[in-house]
Chains A and B, each alone.
Chain A
Amino acid sequence: NAGVTQTPKFQVLKTGQSMTLQCAQDMNHNSMYWYRQDPGMGLRLIYYSASEGTTDKGEVPNGYNVSRLNKREFSLRLESAAPSQTSVYFCASSGLGGDQPQHFGDGTRLSIL
C-alpha cells in the first residue's frame, strides 16, 4: 500500500539551482496538493490540482510551478532556488472536494544554501 510517494526524501541545493519534486499516488484520487511546512507556520498550501488538467495557486505560490502530468502524478518545480525555500515539502491527495480527507506523503526535506 504505497499511497502517496514523494521523491527525493532529502536534497541540498545551491541558491539559483533548479529542481523538481516528484509526487505520485495510487489511490485513484482526483485532487492533489503541495504544501510546505515551516516551524511555527504550520502547513501552507503552495499549489493544488482539484482534478486532472487543472492547477490553482494556494497561499504561497511565488517561486514555484507545478505540473499535473496525469491523474497519478503532480510535480513541483523550483526554477531558481532561494534560501527562503528551505523547508519540508509535503504532497497530498484526496477525493474531489474540500470535505474529503487528504492522504500525505513522507515529505521532502529541502535545504537551499
Chain B
Amino acid sequence: AQRVTQPEKLLSVFKGAPVELKCNYSYSGSPELFWYVQYSRQRLQLLLRHISRESIKGFTADLNKGETSFHLKKPFAQEEDSAMYYCALGGGNKLTFGTGTQLKVEL
C-alpha cells in the first residue's frame, strides 16, 4: 500500500530563515514523488518532482530511499512562500497525497 506522511500540520518560520517541510513515504516499488503547493484562494499546482532534480522558486527536494524521505527545503523563506504544501507519491495510475503542511512565513 502507498502511504505519505507529513508530520507537521503547521510550520511557522521568520522571513529569511531556512525552511524544511518533511515528507516520508511507504511504497514497495520505485517511487515517483512530487510536491504540490496551494496558495490562498488558488488551485493546487505542481511545485517540483524528484526526477526533474530542479529548483523551483528556490525550493529543492532530494529523494532519500534509505530514509524513505522527500523533504522540501529552501534556504531563505520569503513571505510569498506562505501556502499549503502537499507531498504526493505516484504509483498504480494515481497519486497518494499526504495531509499537507501549512507554511506560514512571518515578518
Binding site for B on A (CB under 8 A): 31, 33, 35, 40-45, 48, 50, 56, 58, 90, 92, 96-107
A98 x B98 contact (CB < 8 A): no
- Whether A97 contacts B93 in the complex (CB less than 8 A), given A40-B9, A104-B45, A107-B43, comes out as yes
Is B66's beta carbon under 8 Å from chain A?
no
Give the B interface residue count (CB, 8 A): 22
- Whether A43 contacts B94 in the complex (CB less than 8 A), given A90-B44, A104-B43, A105-B43, comes out as no
Binding site for A on B (CB under 8 A): 6, 9, 32, 34, 43-46, 49, 51, 86, 90-100
- Whether A43 contacts B97 in the complex (CB less than 8 A), given A99-B32, A101-B46, comes out as yes
From A33, A43, A100, B86 is in contact (CB under 8 Å) with A43
A42 x B98 contact (CB < 8 A): yes
Q: How far is the CB of B43 from chain A (nearest CB, A)?
A: 5
> Complex formed: what's the CA distance from A58 to B51 in Å?
25
Q: How far is the CB of B107 from chain A (nearest CB, A)?
A: 26
| A contact residues around B94 at 8 Å (CB) | 33, 45, 48, 58, 98
| A contact residues around B6 at 8 Å (CB) | 42
Can you list 12 A-B pairs with a CB-CB distance of less than 8 A? A41-B99, A42-B86, A42-B99, A45-B95, A48-B93, A48-B94, A50-B93, A90-B44, A97-B93, A98-B32, A99-B32, A104-B44
